[in-house]
Structures are given as C-alpha cells and as structure tokens.
Structure 1
C-alpha cells in the first residue's frame, strides 16, 4: 500500500517562528494539557501487545517528556524531537526525523500548528518501519469553542466583522480519513473531551498566553485586541459559559489518532459498513 498522491502543499497559515518564541518563553513542562495527554498516552500504550525497540516522541518542546513508558510487552525508551524550541528545533512542516525505521512515532500537541497535515502524516509514515505504529494527540475542532464565539461577537460589535483570533483545528470527523489518505493501515480516531473551569474569562486568556497558545496565525487581524474588545469578549464569554458559582467553562477536546505502517501480517479491513474496529482492539492486536 502506498500513500495517495498528495496535492501541492498549501500556503502556510501558522507563524512557526512566533510559536517557537512563545513555547520557548513558556513552561511547557508545567502545561496541564501535556500532563493530561501523557497520562492518556501511558494508558493507551499499556494496551499494546508489542515491544518497541526504536521509538520517538515529537512535540513542540522536550521538557517534561518521559524518557520511558511501557507497553504490555515491557519498557519503551524514547528519543525526543522538539519542533518549536531548543537549540535545533525541527520544522514541523518539513518533518525530517534523523533516521528511518522507527517502530513507534508519537506526535504530541504539534499537529494543531501544521498547515499541511496530509503531507506531515505521509512524511511520518515514511519514517516508520513496516508494521510500525504512529500515535498522535492534538486539540480538536471543539476546543475553545466558547472563546471563538465570544471573540466573533465582540469583533462584530466593535469592528463590524469577524477576525481570526483562534486557530482553526482539525475536526474529529476528518481525522481518520487523513491517516488513510497518507497510506496508514487500520486508521483509528477517537476523542477525549474535558471541561476546564476558570475563575473568570481573563484567567483563561492569561493561561493561554502563559502556555504559548495565543493567536499563532501568520495573518493576524489588523485590529489589535484593545482593552474594550477584550472586555466585551469577556462579557460575551460569561453570557455563554458561566456556571451558577460564577466560574466559566472552557472546552478542551483532545483528538487521538493511531495508524500502522502497512505490513502483510496485518488484519484486512472489513467491508465498509460491516463493523467498526475499536481503538483497544487495534492497539492491542497480537503480533504475527
């Protein structure tokens, strides 16, 4: 099985230099989203009945990443690759790992800042050994939906139109199809949704800035975020997402992808509509 022919790479929409500066200034190891993702990754790998001899974690920064996790067959030692910080960060769009024939590649919280997602996935697959596993986690399409709606309303009232102040994110319904398009076998996508609560909208705004996650787009609005605009967005946020105790909700949707580099030993997909393959079954499939 070979990857489908990919169209020319789209024009970049993310300011990766700006992202790198913000990640470098943040405390990525204190990122609560990273902690959630790492705990979930550990659970998922514990179901995999495979041993991995060459594994790598690709993430915006390497601080806080584990040197070792475990599958059902034993410990997995990881190399670490940074895409947005460190002395020699890797360009996430180019995605050229230092070697080939990895039997496990994990991408954590990086895909949301990649313009050419099909190209990224195809290049990832090219670095896997046959029957190698790829796992990715990234914020999904409903993440920060409350914030997006609040700024749309505030911009409409203050400036007479909408501006892109929150980055677009990959919806779950498209995720597995992107893996299949890149030539992965047994593609699976699922989602974990978390509701995070804050004392007020400003606390959310400040945390996003501290995590290096504020507006990453190359073409940022010509209208800056003024005090008046921020105040109206905060009001609109409260109108949509305030609980009875005065705290506000924020949606965090974490999408998980998994796919295997094709190999003749793999189970063959069923006919469309005949069944669904569960994530636990695919990740825990026996060797052979």
Structure 2
C-alpha cells in the first residue's frame, strides 16, 4: 500500500497499483518493431479508419489533438496541431513526439480538444488511470476516441496454446477487455456520453510462424510480468494445432475484435439524462398503446 498525506495532515491509505505488464520490455519491443512497422500495421490501420469515420461524423473542428500511442504517426488531421506520445523511444523520436506511458501523461490539464488512441490501451498497466488522465488533458466538451484489441480476439491462437500445454497452460495472451467493461471504464474515468462498440477483422494465415511474425512486427507479443518463456516443444505443438484448424486451402482463420471508444469531457452544455420519475407516462401504457396501433 502507498501512504499519502491528506490536507488535514492525517495520513490516508491509497491502494497501490501493481503492474501487470513489464514496462521496460514494452519499450524494448516497440523500439525493435519501429523500423519495419509499416509492413505490419494492418490492425492499427483498421483502427485508424474507424476513428477517422467517427471523427468525420462530428461536425466540429479540433485544433489541438493528442495522438496517444502514436506508433509511426499514421494518424493525421488536416489543419490540426497534433502532439504525439508513445511509450517507445524509437516511435516517439521518429514522430517528433514525447516518450511516456499512457498512465503517466506529461501534459497539463485542458491542453487538448481531442485525444485519439489506436492500438495501445490493452497494454496499459493502469487503464482506469490512463483514461482519467486522457479526460483531464481534454478541455470541457473535448472528444476522446480510442480503439484497441478487445476480448474475443485471437481465439485460434488461444486454442492452439491450450492444446499445446495441456492441463497447466501458461499465460500467453493478455487479459481480455470486453466491450461492456470498456464502457464501464469510460464512466469510471468521468467521461460523459460514453459509447463502446466492436468491429471484427478477419485474417487468414498459411502457417503459425507468419502469425507470430505479425505479432512481433506490431509489438503485440506477450508483455506480462509473469510471462514464461516458450519452449521449442510448446511452439511445435501449438503450430501443429494451428495447422489442424486450417481449411481445405490450407489457410487458418483468425479473428481480431476491435473495441472502439467514444466519449466526451464533461461540460454544462451537453445533454443530460431525464431526472428519475420525470416521465409523463408509464412503460405499461406505452406498450398497451403499441398493441392497439
């Protein structure tokens, strides 16, 4: 536990956030992926397309945008000033940005009127904290748009590792975040008008090694602090199980579920839900009327 001094001088106990992911390993793997990332950016490209569609639907200009987890600075918005941040030094340097973790933002409150984040939030140790910081760096009525690989993704790979390791499987993939949990996190972080939805990306592979190459190339391999090294036997058994799942053409199908988040920094101008008990008719009356019509 961490101990912090309150305003009255009394000591308050603050829960300690225990890291799930290895921050140093994450930086190293992003640095290793940076030179060849354009060859492996197809998942993030799909995320950026979805973010662009959602941003285009908002009839408003955004002058100051934070690209949170910028990779190769693939996000662009004509006419906007875009600050870039990435947890990897090589990505941050190449993008002309700042190196920092998403749950340790170095920006002042109310610095931006839009924050976008594609492909990193599922690797953040303190995700509730990162979302709270994203809300704090937004100006009132500022827009947050995020996308990350969500729960339900890579079912074939998960099954291959389960089959390879039998009754005592090691943790090979990150804990999944489903769309409902993502929406709850937005509320917890203090956002207004939160929306979370899912889009699915289908990918076909000719072999197991190609899939592992993709994961390494997009800096998406296992970053758990408790990770256990893969043995040659486990890899061979997983590859065999992956191949068994192939179709008649020798292609194994994999699925990536992309969770999209849309939310706003609170502002008095935003619509508010009706007060409890303010309805002028009951649900029963509405249903009865519908049956008559």
Q: TM-score range by the shorter chain?
A: 0.7 to 0.9
Which residue of 2 is the match for residue 234 of structure 1?
239
Alignment of structure 1 residues 50-199 onto 2, 5 Å: 50-59=60-69, 61=71, 63-69=72-78, 75-85=79-89, 86-87=92-93, 88-97=98-107, 100-156=110-166, 160-199=167-206
| CA distance in 2: counterparts of 1:261 and 1:133, whole angstroms | 6
Residues 101 and 64 of structure 1: CA distance in aligned 2, closer, same or farther (over 3 Å) = closer
How far off its partner does 1:58 sit? 0.9
SS in 2 for 1:268: coil
Q: 2:250 aligns with which of 217, 227, 246?
A: 246
- 1:69-126 Cα offsets, whole Å, 9 max, x none, are 5xxxxx4342211222335510223223256331101111111111211111111111
Which residue of 2 is the match for residue 283 of structure 1?
none
Q: Given that residues 139 and 255 in structure 1 are in contact (C-alpha distance below 8 angstroms), is that contact kept between their aligned partners in structure 2?
A: yes
TM-score with structure 2 setting the length: 0.81
Matched, 1:256 2:260: yes
> RMSD of aligned C-alpha atoms?
2.1
Which residue of 1 is the match for residue 54 of structure 2?
44
How far off its partner does 1:152 sit? 1.7
Matched, 1:213 2:220: yes
Residues 201 and 269 of structure 1: CA distance in aligned 2, closer, same or farther (over 3 Å) = farther
Which residue of 2 is the match for residue 284 of structure 1?
none
Q: Given that residues 29 and 64 in structure 1 are in contact (C-alpha distance below 8 angstroms), is that contact kept between their aligned partners in structure 2?
A: no
Structure with max Cα Rg: 2
| CA distance in 1: counterparts of 2:242 and 2:211, whole angstroms | 11
Which segments of 5 or more consecutive residues in structure 1 lack a partner in the other structure? 1-6, 70-74, 275-288
SS in 2 for 1:94: coil
Alignment length (residue pairs): 255
TM-score with structure 1 setting the length: 0.82
How far off its partner does 1:150 sit? 1.3
Q: Given that residues 109 and 138 in structure 2 are in contact (C-alpha distance below 8 angstroms), is that contact kept between their aligned partners in structure 1?
A: no
Which segments of 5 or more consecutive residues in structure 2 lack a partner in the other structure? 1-13, 280-293
How far off its partner does 1:259 sit? 0.8
Matched, 1:203 2:210: yes
SS in 1 for 2:215: helix
Q: Given that residues 96 and 123 in structure 1 are in contact (C-alpha distance below 8 angstroms), is that contact kept between their aligned partners in structure 2?
A: no
How far off its partner does 1:196 sit? 0.5
How far off its partner does 1:28 sit? 2.9
| CA distance in 1: counterparts of 2:29 and 2:270, whole angstroms | 42
